[in-house]
Chains A and B, each alone.
Chain A
Amino acid sequence: MNGIADMGGMHGFGPVDRSDDAGPFHHEWERRILGITFSALGAGLFNVDEIRRVTEAVDPITYLKSVYYERWLYSTEALLREKGVISAKELADGRSATPAPNTAPPVTQDIARVILEQGGTSRIADGVPARFRPGDAVIARNINPHGHTRLPRYVRGKHGTVVVDHGIFALPDTNAAGLGPHSQHVYGVRFSARELWGPQAPARDTLQIDLFDDYLDPAAQRAT
């Protein structure tokens, strides 16, 4: 969506504040919400793309005013409500009003270790043809979906070059909406800084971003 989270290229946020660098957690509740979210992910209650979809969709003022782990809190609350696992009333009352839904048993210590040490990838080995190859000139599509996408606004309509084919992965746009993985090739695509930002950008500088097949159209080869 064209929301506040898609902030690449925005002006006005000021200098980067590096004063807070003592560690990832300031409060115990931040540790807990990380663990709650990972437990829910591990139990298959939702996926990472859905987390991002919901996090992005909060109103911009709440997004910017929240400290980082508050975003985890409201997105986990919202997703669990969306999935019917909890209700707003139960959250407000602090107690369950209904029997637990038919979910998997809680993530155990052993399963937690597997999640942490092995992770998970949506990569599949083959079975999907690639539309592009390294060296191809491409244009990022000008799509503006209301739902989740990983094609940021600053790249749309811009000309780039495919540098590498990373392989086949689940498309977040559909995976976040319960529409399945629509697995497809993801390419590292390089753009010149001037193509993205105009003639004032340094001549040599570039940006590389990972774009799904559905985000790209072929372009005629440019002379330069």
Chain B
Amino acid sequence: MAEHDHTEPPSEPALRVKALESLLVEKAIIDPDVVGAFADYYEHRVGPRNGAKVVARAWIDQAYKQRLLANGTAAIAELSFGGLQGEEMVVVENTPTVHNVVTCTLCSCYPWPTLGLPPTWYKSPAYRSRIVIEPRSVLAEFGLEVSDDVEVRVYDSNAEIRYLVLPMRPAGTDGWSEDKLAELVTRDSMIGTAVPRAPA
């Protein structure tokens, strides 16, 4: 998808953003160099690799896992992750009897410091509307079948708490290093719409 297709005129949103930005710069309300720094941070400085490190640490270190479940924000901060939209973290653990999945039905709230900015599907009406009423059907679309004897627990992030799913550690990973374990942890497994990769 070309970002700057020079054969097309700028789109209406592009023109409106340009007008808004130049107006606010003219009024000395915003600094255009600082405007760019925000998106840059979310494209290059945070992302799901942060959350994967948290999960891998919890798989290896049982004391860390207990701290993570007791106070998500503080334990995540031990790995130097935190900040905007991660100030109030609660980590929810998948078990053999409970599978957790996270949404924000009202908008798009998501734990940015551990997962980056959310994917388009997370913000879509289809996900937001259906994950609360028919989670198993949505999970099946993602390729995840949850057994009837497992509780599916949906978290709707409607206040300031942001949720991160701690998925179950895959079998066949005994003795693996944290780095190698982190490679199995996908973004979707920390939202709850997938489970981690299996060892090859």
Say whether B34 contacts A106, CB under 8 Å.
yes
Instruction: Specify the chain B residue showing the minimal Cβ separation from A148.
Output: B106
Which of A45, A80, A186, A190 is close to B159, meaning CB atoms less than 8 Å apart? A186
A100 partner residues in chain B, CB cutoff 8 A: 27-29
Chain A residues 142 to 178 lying within 8 A of chain B, measured CB to CB, are 150-152, 154, 166, 169, 172
Listed stretches B39-47, B49-57, B58-66, B172-180; interface member = B39-47
Query: Is there an interface contact between B83 and A116, defined as CB atoms closer than 8 Å?
Result: yes
The one of B30, B34, B87, B116 that contacts A24, using a Cβ cutoff of 8 Å: B116
Among A15, A27, A166, the residue within 8 A (CB) of B161 is A166
**Contact between B29 and A169 (Cβ–Cβ < 8 Å)?**
no
Tell me if A7 and B19 are in contact (CB < 8 A): no
B residues in contact with A47, CB < 8 Å: none
From A10, A186, A196, name the one whose CB has the most chain B CB atoms within 10 angstroms: A10
- Given the complex, which residues of B lie within 8 Å of A59, measured CB to CB? none
Residues of chain A lying within 8 A (CB to CB) of residue B38: 34-35, 38-39, 112, 116
A26-B127 contact given A109-B34, A123-B88, A205-B135, CB 8 Å threshold:
no
Task: Tell me if A9 and B35 are in contact (CB < 8 A).
Answer: no
Flag the segment in A64-72, A128-136, A216-224 that touches B.
A64-72
Residues on A with C-beta less than 8 A from B13 are 27, 29, 33, 67, 69-70, 73
Q: Are B16 and A73 in contact (CB under 8 A)?
A: yes
The reply to whether B128 and A204 contact each other, CB–CB distance below 8 Å, is no
B16 touches A77 (CB 8 A): yes
Q: Which residues of A contact B87 (CB under 8 A)?
A: 118-121, 123
Are A8 and B85 in contact, CB atoms less than 8 angstroms apart? no
Residues in A whose Cβ lies below 8 Å from that of B130: 11, 13, 16
Chain B residues close to A by CB (< 8 Å): 1, 3-4, 11, 13-14, 16-24, 26-31, 33-43, 82-88, 90, 105-108, 116-121, 123-130, 132-133, 135-136, 138, 141-142, 148-161
